[in-house]
Amino acid sequence: MIKVGIVGGTGYTGVELLRILARHPGAELKVITSRGEAGTAVADMFPSLRGAVGLKFSDPKDAPLGECDVVFFATPNGIAMQQAGGLLASGVRVIDLAADFRIKDIALWEKWYGMTHASPELVAEAVYGLPEVNREAIRKARLVANPGCYPTATQLGFLPLVEAGCVDLGHLIADAKSGVSGAGRKAEIGILFSEASDNFKAYGVPGHRHLPEIRQGLAQFSGKPAEQIGLTFVPHLTPMIRGIHSTLYARITREEDFQTLFEKRFANEPFVDVLPPKSHPDTRSVRAANTCRVALHRPQGGDTLVVLSVIDNLVKGAAGQAVQNMNLMFGLDECSGLSQVPVLP
């Protein structure tokens, strides 16, 4: 059994990790940390886990994380980069669900995240944890940077087109919408029920910190420098708890059988579902599951392709993808612990 530790087990991605790992046949939860809730039973904070998780939260300074095989960081940005080095030196493998190791350009990361990077020497080693692209590197990794939720939905939607080089890389558009849980489990006026309910708004239009992450990935897929990737990315907040819907636009530069292109690219991907032509995936169809559903459209037969990509931001966009990466790192069945059928309604 893989001995698992979780740093930051009280947020939405933390409890999602607990939900998935509690029924994972190859993993054993050993340590869950929280400064504010140390000594509290996990099931007292999250009654949904009663009978499934018997641990109490540990104070991070006393937690035996070094005895684990893998430690997940479900923490705010800036925490994992301070602690990952010590764990790696102890032989523990690390999966960071925050953004500390996602962007390879340190100066660019510091610009977008507004802090000095504490472990720049680890950034080059970290493997970006998008299995559909980096599966073999993830298998060998000590440190995995789990992708963001918007970047997962957006990159998977663009992936076949960018790899094939059949669209204009200088004029890509991602119009993305997220449920309120994407903002985290915190008290903030903009995500209060009376503010977010019955409301819809864009945010981060001048620039969102997932933009350089997405651009970096698209550059990797295309083999072009990031400077040649012209991406307009606009996120929106929707009045729902879970889910991301990315509507992606790309101008065709070379004719292909685009539906076949998508079907072939994702034919062996267990967590990407290419829908039949004219389909319209909805976020409910992936709720609580580690699945990305995509559909392709060509409105009026014109020169613009529209890709619809939906995920659950807490699962394929965070905790589920992190467990998928753990499975790869430890030689388990990639789908182990991730067979949940989406929840409806």
Q: Which residues participate in catalysis according to the annotation? A: 149
By the 8 A CB rule, do 37 and 60 touch? no
Of 170, 158, 171, which is closest to residue 217 (Cα–Cα)?
158
Distances (CA, A) of 52 to 8, 42, 120, 125: 18, 10, 38, 35
By the 8 A CB rule, do 144 and 80 touch? no
Label residue 248 exposed, middle or buried (CB < 10 Å: 0-12, 13-18, 19+): buried
Helices (DSSP H) in 105-249: which residue ranges? Answer: 106-113, 120-123, 131-140, 149-164, 193-196, 211-222
- The type of residue at 219 is A
Of 312, 277, 282, which is closest to residue 295 (Cα–Cα)?
277
Beta-carbon contacts of residue 61 (< 8 Å; ≥ 6 apart) = none
Owner of token pair 């440190």: 143
In this structure, what token pair is assigned to residue 235?
């996120």
Helix axes 131-140, 211-222, angle to 10 degrees: 90
